[in-house]
Amino acid sequence: MNIEWEKIKKNRRVFRLVNDRNMLVEILNYGGIITKILVPDQNGKRENVVLGYKNYRDYEVNPHFLGALIGRVAGRIKNSCFELDGKRYRLEKNDGCHHLHSGSNGFHHVLWEANPFESPGEIGLELSYLSRDGENGYPGNVKVLVIYKLNNDNQLVIEYRATADQKTPIALTNHSYFNLTGNLKEPVHNHVVQMNCSRFAELDHELIPTGKILETQGTLFDFAAGRKLGEGIMAGSGQNKIVGNGYDHYFIFNSNEQGKVTVKDEASGRVLTIRTNQPGMVMYTSNNLDEGLELAEGKSRKYLGVCFETQASPASLHHAGFPTALLNAGESYQKWTAFQFTVESK
């Protein structure tokens, strides 16, 4: 296993983690951004399976959060405000009148302190940051540590740790767009997704949770037995239409079960298995991805990737029944998500 790094601009560096099976993960200390993941297909051909820009400088804007570390709070906060212990906190309006992914200066634009490491059976990168009280409108000083670990099972694990000196919302995630066809050959319509989620959050026309949690059974949101993403993308009605035809919804993992998602691309044979101790995730099929962005393997277009944003729900700040996004002072936030890549031959 090997770790390399390269200076790309001032204090900005790119770190490349390579295991003994030649899987590569490329990460920036700017925004904690995963820019590239190279894994083999069923014929042993190594290709990129995430969306990334052709030029590193484009991550300085990154309006679609490609590969980014999101925090303090991932997702949309209704009306850009919340109340906590009788006090109202007002946040930046960066998505209409709502607050998305912690605003224009969220963790995706932070220059993190980076420390690569190697330990028995794995290599990795630690990113640390102190988010000050009042930063982007949030209360409390929050110490954050995010650890990326790569092992020889072709598994990338992301660990999220945080402590705060005041009660504060926190919901960290990674916003990578996956495309298992390799080098963006095709959109993700034929990706088959299976997940242990029997409930999801209903959205209004501004993509804000209504407060209702719906059952997936008998709908295009039922992935218990596996379903092609194209079914929801092509539906053209209901909750799929509201988000721009596709998915951009929070799914709640079944209680007393570890979160698990399996993604398969039959043509390449690639399989992505996601496991997590997070309570749920947003699955987003890039319905609103701009066309024509200069990506590493070509121009961007809608449905070119799918995100699995494992996290708590910011809707819990306004509605009961959602997985809480609050961290109490002195408590320890410890979450992890593992992404394992394998192949299945035809």
Among the options 309, 318, 331, 344, which is catalytic? 309
101 is known as an active-site residue: no
Which residue bears the tokens 């919340």?
82
> Annotated catalytic residue: which of 98, 175, 191, 249?
175
Q: Please provide the DSSP assignment of 104-165 as one string.
A: TTSGGG-B-EEEEEEETTEEEEEEEEEE-TTGGG--S-EEEEEEEEEETTSEEEEEEEEEES
Contacts 24+ apart (CB under 8 A), 92-95: 92/136, 92/137
What CA–CA distance (Å, rounded) separates 130 from 68? Answer: 18
Active-site residue, 309 included: yes
Written as six digits, the tokens of 175 are 């916003």
Q: What is the pLDDT along the chain (346 residues), one digit of tens a residue?
A: 999 999 998 899 999 999 999 999 999 999 999 999 999 999 999 999 999 999 999 999 999 999 999 999 999 999 999 999 999 999 999 999 999 999 999 999 999 999 999 999 999 999 999 999 999 999 999 999 999 999 999 999 999 999 999 999 999 999 999 999 999 999 999 999 999 999 999 999 999 999 999 999 999 999 999 999 999 999 988 999 999 999 999 999 998 889 999 999 999 999 999 999 999 999 999 999 999 999 999 999 999 999 999 999 999 999 999 999 999 999 999 999 999 999 998 6
Q: Is 175 annotated as a binding residue?
A: yes
For residue 240, the SS3 value is helix
176 annotated ligand binder? yes
Chain length of the chain: 346
**In total, how many domains does the chain have?**
1
Residues spanned by the domain of 119:
2-343
61 with 108: CB under 8 angstroms? no
- We report the CATH number of the domain holding residue 242 as 2.70.98.10
